[in-house]
């Protein structure tokens, strides 16, 4: 069953975040993921959406999603994201 990751990100250091973005695709491409959407200004239909970036990623399985997220390569790269932003990240199962 497909799994989706939804990230709500507030970027406060664009230069540091650029280091994360520069290395992301190389690592991500190794883990069967599919980038479905990245938006700097999504349209809020209800409530507030105070994030500077929203990301939607699909993986074929829960195991694939967790293999990517927990991989040493990604965790090393993610240190740039952690330093440059705050985020909410959830994993949800598809139907």
> Is the confidence at residue 59, as pLDDT, over 90?
yes
Query: Whole-angstrom Cα distance, residue 21 to residue 78?
Result: 10
Query: Whole-angstrom Cα distance, residue 41 to residue 59?
Result: 24
> Is the confidence at residue 12, as pLDDT, over 90?
yes
Give me the pLDDT at residue 94, please: 92
User: pLDDT tens for residues 33-58?
Assistant: 999 999 999 999 999 999 999 999 99
Give me the pLDDT at residue 95, please: 86
Give me the pLDDT at residue 89, please: 97
CATH of domain 3-93: 3.30.70.100
The set of residues, in sequence order, having a beta carbon less than 8 Å from that of 60 and lying 6+ positions away, is 2, 3, 32
Mean pLDDT of the chain: 96
């Amino acid at each position: 069953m497909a799994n989706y990751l939804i990230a709500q990100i507030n970027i406060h250091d664009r230069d540091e975040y650029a280091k994360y973005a520069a290395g992301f695709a190389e690592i991500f491409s190794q883990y069967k993921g599919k980038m479905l959407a990245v938006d700097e200004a999504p349209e809020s239909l209800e409530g507030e959406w105070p994030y500077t970036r929203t990301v939607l990623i699909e993986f074929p399985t829960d195991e694939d999603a967790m293999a990517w997220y927990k991989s040493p390569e990604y965790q090393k790269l993610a240190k740039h994201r952690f330093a440059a932003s705050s985020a909410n990240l959830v994993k949800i199962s598809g139907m």
